[in-house]
Structure 1
Amino acid sequence: AHIVVGTPGRICDHIRRNALDMTEIRVAVLDEADEMLDLGFREDLEYILEAAPAERRTLMFSATVPSAIAKLAKSYQRNAVRIATASEQKQHVDIEYRALVVTPADREHAIVNALRFYEAPNAIVFCSTRAAVNHLHARLANRNFSVVALSGELTQTERTHALQAMRDGRARVCIATDVAARGIDLPGLELVIHADLPTNSETLLHRSGRTGRAGRKGVSALIVPVSQRRKAERLLAGAQVEPTWARPPSAEEVTARDEERLFADPIFEEIAKDEEEQGLIDKLVARFDATKLASAFVSLYRGKNSAPEDITEVSLETRKPREGGNDSAPRPLTPRGDFGAAVWFSLSVGRKQRAEPRWLIPTICRAGDLTKHEIGAIKMQAEETFVEIAAAHADKFMAKLGKDGMMERGVRVTRLDGVPDFSKFSRGDDEGFVKREGPRLDKPYKDNKPFSK
């Protein structure tokens, strides 16, 4: 073979089994190098590069160039030249960024209206978890969208079928997690929707870069709940992107856009294909007047699309900084009193994995569609964390997580039958007990690397 293409893990496996001879390698290419580093492939990449001849040529392709990439290049490239294919002063010049501000309750309605307003030949919607992908896929399928899902639980065959459905037009919307969408290239992808805000600016650029390729124009729309506006502003600033802040398309705007598409439809320019079709047209004209024919046509035209949603109007004004100029200062905590009936859950992460309430609480809220007021005591052990969830929300919490009970970064959640037996833990473990006396307002943890024990 002249060219070998593979994942870092698979190539390492072949090298160790002497199934791949590296002595004649002349060029090593790392595609999406930053993403491979984020996924924890640094050791595999170093092993591959060290196994290749020293006189080889090494090429690295990356949408972003964080310090880890620069360090890798310095170690394994000689006299490297950095080539930028677009101006660093302005990211993705062919992409129109729109930040759509909504109430949390209107998040899914905003996604529906954005899909309907743009009616892109292909669109991709990014969610943060597999459970969120499955939930949104079911909702959109019930709304008559031709939709497929991409998540880590799919087999390779299922993934291939889903992508083929997007390519041949049987599906027009793909719901995906960041990991599952890596490396895919869909033709005619004109719309990217961030149903959940990305964890960092690099991920925002990677997601958005699925559209606006090869000189084509595209739209990247962030669904921004009013409570997450500051986070969205930080992400966009870090990506050097200046979006248009707006409200999602209203039901009236979607309907108006439908009318524009209706009048521009080339079907009105077509003529009868044969005498049989012309005969049917003559019968319809003879039996029904123009109003009834037009009414039937409009009903058929609208029937193939999902009806737009009514959305609560929100203010687009940026919230003023708090008094004293310290916009990041936390509000004073308010007493909660007795938490009430609760259910205990076990999380497969503890202090050894640097678990902390300041990022665990936002993660739990996002994964289970909870607020911080529905989370009670948190008891952190060396490799496990116990969390109280208000009894009235426990079933909803597990349903949101899905059948595998997984949260972000591979944290597994298990529902317990009663109160954990804390006596079996060492005295040192008791130091991990955190009793919440008010809402937690700490910023979420930003390191997105998976846990390892």
Structure 2
Amino acid sequence: MTFDHLSPVLSDALTARGYEALTPVQAQVTEAEAHGRDLLVSAQTGSGKTVAFGLAMADELLADGRLPFASAPLALIVAPTRELALQVSRELGWLYAQAGARIATCVGGMDASRERRALNQGVHIVVGTPGRLRDHLERGALDLAALRVAVLDEADEMLDMGFREDLEEILDATPATRRTLLFSATIPKPIAQLAKRYQKDALRISTVGDTRGHGDIAYQVVTVAPADIEGAVINLLRLHEADTAMLFCATRDNVRRLHARLVNRGFAAVALSGEHSQNERNHALQALRDRRARVCVATDVAARGIDLPSLSLVVHVEIPRDAETLQHRSGRTGRAGKKGTAVLIVPYPRRRRVDAMLRGAKIEAQWMPAPTAADVRARDQERLIEALLAPVEHEADDLELAQRLLAERSPEDIAASLVRAHRATMPPPEELIDNGPPARGERGERPDRTPRREGFDDSVWFRLDVGRRQNADPRWILPLLCRRGHVTKNEIGAIRIGPNETLFNIPLAIADRFAEAVERTAGRDGGEDDSGVTITPAPEGSSYPPRRDKRPFKGGPRGDGPRKPHGQGKPGGGFKAKPYAKGKKGRQG
């Protein structure tokens, strides 16, 4: 297909690359009204922004289909991360190959002396990160006096990362006659201020619709117990069996731990975080492109700008800090018209926060439980049957070997051996904690009571200092008790959730061992969702919890001062409590 409104060298490059039509943002920046003007562009991640500003700056660079001789750069592209800068350099390389473009990449972690030599030899386009570009500028290696166009890619991310001062120094060193193209997924107030200072009569272009969620991405929310997060990750990877999957964690330590866990389980995985050198990052990305690795565990910053054509699954192992981070993470998949899946793993106590974030971002997501080991095995069977029943031409040697096997074993034995050999090549799925029957409501509202279990007549009651008002739920309380008390889920009896406390019973035979384990593990939990929960023996006489309090709640939130113990002031109350008098008169102490 030809693109008549573009320069022939660019049209030929797009056709050779397989382009049949321009994306919306690419089409708008090449319209007649955008020629020669500063542009303020907001477009979704994965919408083809790199090619878009490559096409937009052609008027300033090309003369009769060629780039002129240049002793100093004619175009400058600033990107927030090394990976994004390298990706931009590759994209512009094929786009301007026929025009004879010389492109230099200046990013942290690479050999600065080699970059300076490339700049001294003369280049047409420079692509780099703010810190390295500023360093070359201050050392005199980067001359911006002849610059015709400056591009800020992912400007919102650069400001979030604290590069405002670097950007201002770089732009202040460029000619006032330059053309400035500012590309950003969103245009918050800091971006608007930056545009007002460095752009003149900018044309505003937006291809972001009312729905901020990417149309080619299916969003899913998997709810789990806090102790089952890593198990859910393993089952999700096994269930989808994506060609390439990316897992997002919040910190370097979490990336390191999850990567080690996956490698130990037999997954071909690589890691990307700030602690890795540029050489290590390049090797990891090349392993993903070569299909030697299929899973990438990364932090937000390290994965910014990564473009992997085979990436079809994104898993948010840790909840994004906001809707913008969710969008940028998920945008690694569903690119260039391909479909992708983004899965958020949400511990039960944090469902409300994620639900609010999705509503605010106008993203429709499907809520579902985590895939179980049985779900994974069933999907494995479907995939194996599909693979074996697919039509294929057999070699003569294969048919001969099949005849020998049939002579020695029955077809059933051969098929069973084939299934066993197939399963041995894949990591086994995880057995997740059984959370019992589903809770009521779309978001899993907590049931008031759980049924009394058999075999717990001779038991001891314990107490948690959280209840319904603190978002208590048996589905995260159960794994907490198992972890703190060193017991199994079958050794925990009934769980009764009150307004501000929860009671549960433990068999008398193991009650002392449970209490000792709880005391030893106090303060060690450290989990974001479980910290601060106190487990103590229930007050004497609480062989069965008191009835649910129907009176209106008169106290403040938990932690806002002393609370009356349950049953105080009522004849025959279930708990023994010290007198507590209201008012100044008679107040004790």
TM-score by length of 2: 0.55
Q: Does 1:286 align with 2:410?
A: no
Pick aligned residue for 2:532 from 372, 379, 394: 372
Matches within 5 A, 1:178-197: 178-197=300-319
Q: Which of 418, 421, 429 in structure 2 is aligned with 1:300? A: 421
Which residue does the alignment assign to 1:110? 232
Secondary structure in structure 1 of the residue aligned to 2:405 = helix
- Find 1:201's aligned residue among 308, 323, 345: 323
* 8 Å CA contact retained: 2:222, 2:345: yes
Q: Report the Cα offset of residue 145 of structure 1.
A: 1.2
> Residue 302 of structure 2: SS of its match in structure 1?
helix
Q: Which residue of 2 aligns with 1:120?
A: 242
For 2:244 and 2:306, the matched residues in 1 are separated by: 13
- Alignment check: 8 A CA contact 2:246 2:311 kept: yes
Residue 5 of structure 1 is matched in structure 2 by 127
**1:129 is matched with which residue?**
251
* CA displacement, residues 104-135 of structure 1 (integer Å, 9 cap, x when unaligned): 11111211111111111000000111111111
Is this contact kept in 2: 1:372–1:439, CA < 8 A?
no
Contact 1:193-1:222 at 8 Å conserved across structures = yes
Is the 2:212–2:361 contact (alpha carbons within 8 Å) kept by the matching residues of 1?
no
Correspondence 1:152 to 2:277: no
Q: Which has the higher contact order (CA 8 A, sep 6+)?
A: 1
- Residue number in structure 1 paired with 2:346: 224
- Pick closer, same or farther for the CA change 1:232–1:33 going to 2, 3 Å: same
Amino acid at match of 1:84: S
Q: Residues 439 and 215 from structure 1, CA distance in 2 versus in 1: closer, same or farther, beyond 3 angstroms?
A: farther
Please give the alpha-carbon distance, in whole angstroms, between the structure 2 residues aligned to 1:125 and 1:84.
29
Tell me if the contact between 1:123 and 1:172 (Cα under 8 Å) persists in the aligned partners: yes
Amino acid at match of 1:317: E
Once the two structures are TM-superposed, the CA of residue 238 in structure 1 deviates from its matched residue by 3.0
Which stretches in structure 1 are left out of the alignment for 5+ residues? 322-328, 335-339, 345-361, 375-436, 441-453
**CA radius of gyration, larger in:** 2
Are the aligned partners of 1:151 and 1:180 in contact in 2 as well (CA < 8 Å)?
Answer: yes
Q: Secondary structure at the match of 1:98?
A: strand
Give 1:45's match in structure 2, choosing from 148, 167, 189. 167
Find the counterpart in structure 2 of residue 247 from structure 1: 369
Q: Are 2:157 and 1:35 aligned?
A: yes
Q: 1:333 to 1:58 in 2, by over 3 A?
A: farther
- Please, which moves more after superposition, 211-220 or 280-289? 280-289
Contact kept in structure 2, 1:204 and 1:239, CA below 8 Å: no
Amino acid at match of 1:310: E
Closer/same/farther in 2, CA of residues 260 and 342 from structure 1, 3 Å limit:
closer
Contact 2:211-2:363 within 8 A present in 1 as well? no
**Superposition deviation, residue 373 in structure 1:** 4.6
Residue type of the partner of 1:371?
A: S
1:318 aligns with 2:443: yes
Q: Deviations over 1:189-241 (max 9, x none)?
A: 11100000011111111100001100011111000001111221232223221
1:346-357 residue pairs with structure 2 within 5 A? Answer: none
Residue 439 of structure 1, CA deviation: 10
Matches of residues 418-433 of structure 1 in structure 2 within 5 Å? none
CA distance in 2, matches of 1:152, 1:284: 53
What residue identity is the alignment partner of 2:214?
H
Summarize deviations over 1:350-372 as a string: whole Å, max 9, x none: xxxxxxxxxxxx9x744xx9713
CA distance in 1, matches of 2:147, 2:236: 48
Q: What is the CA RMSD across the aligned residues, in angstroms?
A: 3.0
Among 337, 343, 347, the residue aligned to 1:215: 337
CA-CA distance at 1:73 after TM superposition: 1.4
From the superposition, tell whether residues 17 and 174 of structure 1 become closer, same or farther in structure 2 (CA, over 3 Å): same
Counterpart CA distance in 2 for 1:239 and 1:370 is: 27
- Any unmatched runs of 5+ in structure 2? 1-122, 447-468, 472-498, 502-518, 535-557, 562-589
Task: Report the more deviating stretch, 251-260 or 203-212.
Answer: 251-260
Matched-pair contact (CA < 8 Å) for 1:27–1:58: yes
What is the DSSP-based 3-state SS (H/G/I as helix, E as strand, rest coil) of the residue aligned with 1:82?
Answer: strand
Q: Give the SS at the match of 1:4.
A: strand
| SS of 1:48 mapped into structure 2 | helix
* Cα distance in 2 for residues equivalent to 1:72 and 1:276: 69
Q: Distance in 2 between matches of 1:13 and 1:289?
A: 72
Query: What CA deviation, in whole Å up to 9, does each residue of 1:87-113 have, x standing for no partner?
Result: 233420111111111111111121111
**What amino acid maps onto 1:281 in structure 2?**
A
2:392 aligned with 1:270 = yes
Q: Return the alpha-carbon distance in structure 1 between the equivalents of residues 533 and 262 of structure 2.
A: 30
User: Is 1:168 matched up with 2:290?
Assistant: yes
Sequence identity percentage: 50
1:133·1:175 contact (CA, 8 Å) conserved in 2?
yes
User: Which residue identity does 2:280 align to in structure 1?
Assistant: E
Shift of 1:248: 1.5
Cross-structure match for 1:397 = none
Whether the 8 Å contact between 1:373 and 1:439 is mirrored in structure 2 is no
The amino acid that maps onto 2:428 is A
1:309 aligns with 2:434: no
